[in-house]
Amino acid sequence: MAQQDTVELVDIFGDRYALVRAGSVSHRLLFGQSFTFIDPPERFLNRLAGEDHAVLASLLQLVDSLGTFGISPYTAKKRLVDALEAGEIKVYLLESDHWLQDAGGVPSQSSPPPEVSREAPRSQQTGSRHAKAAAPSVKKAEAAIATDPGITGGKVARLEFMGAPATKSELDATEANNQREDSYSLKQQEQLMTNGAARTTREMLLAIESGHIPRYLVRVGPKKNFAHGTFANPNNEFAFAAEPADLRGLSAEEAMRKVGWTDEWIENCKGEEIVACIVDTHSSEEFQSVGNLEWDDLKKKALSDKDFLRDMKLKNISFQESENFFAMAQATPVGATPNNLAATEKEKYDLFRVSLAQKYSANRLYTGFGATMSEDGNLGARELMINNISGVDDGYRLDKVEHSLVFLGTI
């Protein structure tokens, strides 16, 4: 008697997949068993294709581990699909469960854990022929990964952009660089902005990783923006700023892109003189409240901000929905839209992102892990937060701090 194909239904990062193992392949389906990671998921995924597929029971734990090890759901899902297919398992993204009956399958009475997987005996056709029969309700997985990769290719975490974790020697060198940067005078920072060279992307990411709060901050924009005598908009609770080390030797347009200006806003600055405004935060107590502003920090600020919560209420977005939207935003690549949102949810999510941009300047290029990004998906400069201690109309005043305006060019 010919062997039957075996079908497993399994949830992978929120999407339901059918894993079809042809009858000629050994039926060692052990879904539902517990599995504990010894290696980070990145290494596990690299090894998966050469191991028994029973370890797929770890999928649910992998979801919980993503944030810890800096792997996005998009990257992990793509690697899992590739590894499965390399192991002769056909992978299909389901729109519904009904295709099982449509293609002749009958669900088994033996039930592995609900909502994780179940077996169903199949007819004597091959897995690929079943896919053809089920075409109206089944999509090939690699052509339909549900998570939008955005402008980053699916990357969402700092470690993904770093490529490899920081070594001890790198962190030691970064600390030495941090101390050297803080030792410079304002005049030296001004000269380096014109004659120096910007640090590499990895050096910038290592500076974020180190957690060091720099002495010097810089903002880039039209000279007229600083004519009011303020470093940033005094109506805002806090402002974003960069480190001078990431902008050295760049043209006006290059510097603007590197700190996150969009093409549209750069176009609006045509004919304007562009400057870098560098401040010495150690010269004034008014400028010493500097810190990181990553997704968790922004969430904490926003959900304790009465004005933001009032805005959410006016947009018919509940507190719980706001919390959920922050989680979605953190797990979604820059420039992408969260998957599996109903039309009404997507509308609310878009309004939520508009509010973040308007109130906190966390626009569609905000990465949430301490670095700026340009519209082409390239990382730019380290991004920090400076709090407005003095409040409306009196905050960020340049006459309270030692500063320098460095001319970068005319757009």
The answer to whether residues 234 and 395 touch, using CB atoms and an 8 Å cutoff, is: yes
The more confident residue out of 125 and 361 is 361
User: Which of the residue ranges 104-118, 154-168, 195-209 has the most confident prediction, judged by mean pLDDT?
Assistant: 195-209
pLDDT in the model for residue 131: 31
Token look-up 């290029």 returns 365
What is the 8-class DSSP label of residue 268?
Answer: T
For residue 57, pLDDT beyond 80: no
Start-end of H helices in 163-246: 168-183, 186-195, 201-210
Taken in order 317, 322, 327, 332, is the CA torsion positive or negative?
positive
Start-end of H helices in 87-225: 99-102, 127-133, 158-162, 168-183, 186-195, 201-210
Rounded to the nearest 5°, which phi and psi values hold at 269? Answer: -100, 10
The more confident residue out of 32 and 361 is 361
User: Residue 222: which residues within 8 A CB-CB, separation 6 or more?
Assistant: 269, 272, 273, 274, 275
76-81: long-range contacts, CB 8 A cutoff, minimum separation 24: 76/13, 76/41, 76/45, 77/12, 77/13, 77/15, 77/145, 77/147, 78/142, 78/145, 78/154, 79/45, 79/46, 79/48, 80/12, 80/45, 80/48, 80/56, 81/141, 81/142, 81/145
The answer to whether residues 6 and 119 touch, using CB atoms and an 8 Å cutoff, is: yes
For residue 191, pLDDT beyond 50: yes
Q: Beta-carbon neighbour count of residue 47 at 10 Å?
A: 11
Residues 70-128 pLDDT 10s: 556 556 666 666 656 665 556 555 543 433 333 333 333 333 322 323 233 222 233 33
Residues 340-357 pLDDT 10s: 788 999 999 999 999 999
Token look-up 């400028």 returns 287
pLDDT in the model for residue 143: 32
User: Residue 256: which residues within 8 A CB-CB, separation 6 or more?
Assistant: 220, 221, 265, 266, 269, 274, 411
pTM above the 0.85 mark? no
The answer to whether residues 382 and 246 touch, using CB atoms and an 8 Å cutoff, is: yes
The answer to whether residues 203 and 170 touch, using CB atoms and an 8 Å cutoff, is: no
For residue 271, pLDDT beyond 50: yes
pLDDT in the model for residue 392: 80
pLDDT in the model for residue 172: 93
User: Which of the residue ranges 66-70, 76-80, 140-144, 201-205 has the most confident prediction, judged by mean pLDDT?
Assistant: 201-205
CA distance 396 to 385: 12
CA distance 255 to 275: 9
Residues 129-140 pLDDT 10s: 233 233 223 333
Residues 205-243 pLDDT 10s: 999 999 999 999 999 999 999 999 999 999 888 899 999
For residue 48, pLDDT beyond 60: no
Token look-up 């509940």 returns 318
SS3 166: coil
Nearest to 349 by CA among 359, 360, 364: 364
What is the 8-class DSSP label of residue 397?
Answer: B
User: Residue 167: which residues within 8 A CB-CB, separation 6 or more?
Assistant: none
Q: Beta-carbon neighbour count of residue 319 at 10 Å?
A: 11
